[in-house]
């Protein structure tokens, strides 16, 4: 069965610092992986997705993620944090048919001046 683990429920960085949000997956088949972002009082918005075309995936707002099969990881990074990046981030893996998703518990990112 597929599953997702996000390490760190809260991450705090300074503005301009590197953002690294960790996601490890478990999957018995080649995984399709997603990162979503949720701003306060909003629904989830797709940041990027991995569909086996390329291991380094670029998304919106300067985020990217690298798929590492050997480490079963799909960590999200951004070189320089901005105050507007403060949000909750969810990693997800497709599980079963109909594009059902299994979500991680989420990581809340705080950006301080």
Q: What residue ranges bind other proteins (CB under 8 A)?
A: 9, 32, 34, 36, 41-46, 49, 51, 90, 94, 98-101, 103-106
How far is it, in rounded angstroms, from Cα 68 to Cα 56?
A: 9
CB 92 within 8 A of CB 100: no
- Min dist CB 19 to other proteins, Å, is 19
- Min dist CB 78 to other proteins, Å, is 20
- Min dist CB 16 to other proteins, Å, is 29
HEC assignment per residue over 22-53: EEEEECCCCCCEEEEEECCCCCEEEEEEECCC
Q: Which residue has the tokens 């960085």?
A: 13
CB 27 within 8 A of CB 51: no
Which is closer to other proteins, CB of 73 or CB of 106? Answer: 106
- Min dist CB 32 to other proteins, Å, is 4
How far is it, in rounded angstroms, from Cα 7 to Cα 31?
A: 19
């Amino acid at each position: 069965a597929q599953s997702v683990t996000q390490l760190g429920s809260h991450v705090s960085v300074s503005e301009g610092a590197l953002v690294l949000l960790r996601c490890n997956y478990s999957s018995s088949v080649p995984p399709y992986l997603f990162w979503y972002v949720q701003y306060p009082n909003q629904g989830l918005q797709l940041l990027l997705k991995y569909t086996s075309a390329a291991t380094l995936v670029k998304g919106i707002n300067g985020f990217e993620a690298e798929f590492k099969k050997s480490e079963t990881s799909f960590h999200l990074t951004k070189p320089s944090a901005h105050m507007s990046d403060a949000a909750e981030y969810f990693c997800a893996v497709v599980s079963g048919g109909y594009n059902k998703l299994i979500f991680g518990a989420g990581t809340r990112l705080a950006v301080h001046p």
